[in-house]
């Protein structure tokens, strides 16, 4: 891939996907986490913004519509990003809706994410 090949050609990017464990609020112990610590997520957003300042940058994860512990960890990360000037524009809900997930839980999660002021998808 050529440097800058997609600059200005893609409207938005899922910069980091599934940085947190399947349930709860702990970061996944991935290659990136084990070698760079949790700052790898913020740095990925910084690098993506440097590569294409006009692109809309998303963090994406699953189970955040029903696992409030995981949702709160994501929201805490987002607030830290905003406080520290990390360029993040949206949160992606990789929703795997189940019949046993109450509508109220999903509504609560979407409302809390919307309160960040970021885009949601």
DSSP track, the chain: --TTTTTTT-SEEEEEE--B-SSSSPBP--HHHHHH-THHHHHHHHHHHHH-TTSEEEEEESSTTT-HHHHHHHHHHHHHHHHTT----EEEE-----TTS-HHHHHHHHHHHHTTT-EE-
pLDDT score, position 99: 87
- The answer on pLDDT for 1 being more than 60 is no
Q: How high is the mean pLDDT of the chain?
A: 94
Read off the pLDDT band of 14 (50, 70, 90). very high
d(CA 52, CA 75): 24
Q: What is the pLDDT of residue 105?
A: 94
Mean pLDDT on 24-35: 96
Quick: pLDDT tens for 57-111.
999 999 999 999 999 999 999 999 999 999 999 999 998 888 889 999 999 999 9
- Report residue 2's pLDDT band, with 50, 70 and 90 as the boundaries: low
pTM over cut 0.75: yes
């Amino acid at each position: 891939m050529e440097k800058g090949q997609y600059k200005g050609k893609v409207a938005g990017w899922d910069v980091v996907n599934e940085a947190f464990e399947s349930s709860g609020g702990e970061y996944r112990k991935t290659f990136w986490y084990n070698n760079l610590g949790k700052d790898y997520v913020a740095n990925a957003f910084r690098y993506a913004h440097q590569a294409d300042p006009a692109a809309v940058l998303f963090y994406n994860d699953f189970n955040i519509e029903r696992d409030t512990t995981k949702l709160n960890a994501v929201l805490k990360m987002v607030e830290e990003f905003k406080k520290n000037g990390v360029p993040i524009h949206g949160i992606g809900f990789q929703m795997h809706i189940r019949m046993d997930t109450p509508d109220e839980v999903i509504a609560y999660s979407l409302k809390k994410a919307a309160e960040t002021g970021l885009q949601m998808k």
